């Protein structure tokens, strides 16, 4: 009954009194999200970013965890389609050339947009193959 009364919306909208609302009548202005809801959304979004990396980088699951973290951060931020546009970086990664991959990430419009995030991702890509 609630869905019939409230509707089901996948994107935020303003309800009839101007409150930012999503889902089935979820009032974001007054109620927001709980820590558990934020964690659930984040876990879901990380899974999507990981799947994007696995699709773009056949050896992804074998990458050092720091490199995986860097690539997941990029995929989370860019989405699979825009990450796929980093052709030279992808080629370098798929060839195991992490220095070139790091340089390609930094030599991008994305890096100029996100600043320190790109520097941190590039450092993760340059991480040694061994744990530490």
Give the start-to-end residue ranges of the domains of the chain: 1-32, 35-125
Most distant CA pair in the chain, distance: 57
Could you give the angle at the alpha carbon of 72 between the alpha carbons of 71 and 78, nearest 5°?
A: 90
Token digits of residue 115: 């600043």
- Predicted confidence at residue 93, as pLDDT, reads 97
Q: pLDDT (tens digit, 9 = 90+) per residue, 109-130? A: 999 999 999 999 999 999 987 6
DSSP strands (E only) in the chain: 9-14, 20-23, 26-27
Mean pLDDT taken over the chain: 95
Class of CATH domain 35-125: mainly alpha
Instruction: List, as one string, the DSSP characters of 58-92.
Output: TTGGGS-HHHHHHHHHHHHHHHHHHHHT-HHHHHH
Burial, 99: exposed, middle or buried (Cβ in 10 Å; 0-12, 13-18, 19+)? Answer: exposed
The number of angstroms, rounded, from the C-alpha of 99 to the middle of its chain's C-alpha atoms is 22
Q: pLDDT (tens digit, 9 = 90+) per residue, 78-91? A: 999 999 999 999 99
Sheet with 26-27: list strands edge to edge: 9-14, 20-23, 26-27
- Contact status, residue 84 vs residue 90, Cβ threshold 8 Å: yes
Q: pLDDT (tens digit, 9 = 90+) per residue, 12-66? A: 999 999 999 999 999 999 999 999 999 999 999 999 999 999 999 999 999 999 9
């Amino acid at each position: 009954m609630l869905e019939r009364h409230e509707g089901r919306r996948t994107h935020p909208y303003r309800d009839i009194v101007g409150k930012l609302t999503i889902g089935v009548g979820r009032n974001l202005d007054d109620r927001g999200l709980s820590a558990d809801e934020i964690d659930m959304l984040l876990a879901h979004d990380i899974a999507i970013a990981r799947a994007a990396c696995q699709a773009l980088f056949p050896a992804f699951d074998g990458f050092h965890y720091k490199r995986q973290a860097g690539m997941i951060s990029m995929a989370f931020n860019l989405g699979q389609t825009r990450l796929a546009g980093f052709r030279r970086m992808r080629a370098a990664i798929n060839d195991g050339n992490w220095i070139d991959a790091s340089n390609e990430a930094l030599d991008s419009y994305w890096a100029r947009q996100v600043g320190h995030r790109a520097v941190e991702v590039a450092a993760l890509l340059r991480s040694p193959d061994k744990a530490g």
